[in-house]
């Protein structure tokens, strides 16, 4: 397919999307259309918040995509923080396997920072976090689910579905919020009140 880009005065059919650059949900009609013969098959939209371009190809795929999950604040360990952001950014690029691998590495680091010994299996670290009370009682189903998924992919880099990456990322986000963000927020509030 050979795309022909046409400048139409910068105004095209409005589209509703979440900007992968700034995270804003917007409807934009600023951009360019691309034709294949006489059909419009691709578009570039300009975000009116951050002014960055987003491409929608003939397959409907959005580039850059939207990172899954939410930012977590007050993570004291920079390595953990960057692994979390890297995992989120992987989902924006449809790199689900890489996202899962980042999450696994992050959970291992988290467990070691909470006293687990090094050199264990991934699932042993998840069990450790659960046994030490970092995972809420109703989160037990999650641990079982992650164990099952972990067994499927032990010692190999299995290709994973986007859904699996999103599930693990949600779990990691919840843990990071409980372990770091909420206590730090409370601490700030307490010291502001006293």
* Binding region for Zn ion (CB under 5 A): 19, 21-22, 47, 49-50
Supply 148's token pair.
């099952």
Question: In whole angstroms, how close is the CB of 153 to Zn ion at the nearest point?
Answer: 35
Complex with Zn ion: residue 19 or 80, whichever CB lies closer = 19
Supply 79's token pair.
């390595």
Which residue in 94, 92, 5 sits closest to 43, CA to CA? Answer: 5
Question: In whole angstroms, how close is the CB of 50 to Zn ion at the nearest point?
Answer: 3
Complex with Zn ion: residue 19 or 111, whichever CB lies closer = 19
**Cis-peptide into 95, omega within 30 deg:** no
* SS3 (DSSP) at 107: helix
Question: In whole angstroms, how close is the CB of 51 to Zn ion at the nearest point?
Answer: 7
Complex with Zn ion: residue 8 or 49, whichever CB lies closer = 49
117-to-47, 126, 140, 155, 156 alpha-carbon distances in Å: 47, 13, 22, 19, 22
Are 91 and 165 in contact by the 8 Å Cβ rule? The answer is: yes
Question: In whole angstroms, how close is the CB of 68 to Zn ion at the nearest point?
Answer: 17
Phi-psi region of 33 (alpha: psi -120 to 50; beta: other; left: phi over 0): beta
Complex with Zn ion: residue 17 or 35, whichever CB lies closer = 17
* SS3 (DSSP) at 39: strand
Query: In angstroms, rounded to a whole number, what is the distance separating the alpha carbons of residues 148 and 31?
Result: 46
Query: In angstroms, rounded to a whole number, what is the distance separating the alpha carbons of residues 146 and 128?
Result: 13
Question: In whole angstroms, how close is the CB of 52 to Zn ion at the nearest point?
Answer: 5
Complex with Zn ion: residue 45 or 142, whichever CB lies closer = 45
Question: In whole angstroms, how close is the CB of 59 to Zn ion at the nearest point?
Answer: 22
Complex with Zn ion: residue 46 or 112, whichever CB lies closer = 46
């Amino acid at each position: 397919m050979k795309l022909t880009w046409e400048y139409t005065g910068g105004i095209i059919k409005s589209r509703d999307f979440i900007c992968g650059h700034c995270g804003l949900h917007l409807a934009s009609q600023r951009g360019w259309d691309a034709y294949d013969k006489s059909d419009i098959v691709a578009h570039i939209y300009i975000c009116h918040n951050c002014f960055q371009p987003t491409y929608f190809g003939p397959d409907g795929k959005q580039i850059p995509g939207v990172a899954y999950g939410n930012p977590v604040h007050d993570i004291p360990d920079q390595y953990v923080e960057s692994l979390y952001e890297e995992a989120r950014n992987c989902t924006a690029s449809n790199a689900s396997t890489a996202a899962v691998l980042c999450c696994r590495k992050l959970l291992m680091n988290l467990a070691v920072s909470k006293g687990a010994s090094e050199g264990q299996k991934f699932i042993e670290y998840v069990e450790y976090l659960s046994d030490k009370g970092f995972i809420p009682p109703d989160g037990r189903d999650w641990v079982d689910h992650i164990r099952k998924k972990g067994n499927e992919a032990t010692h190999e880099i299995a290709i994973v579905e986007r859904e699996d990456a999103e599930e693990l990322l949600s779990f990691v986000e919840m843990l990071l919020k409980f372990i770091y963000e909420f206590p730090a927020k409370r601490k700030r509030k307490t010291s502001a009140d006293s």
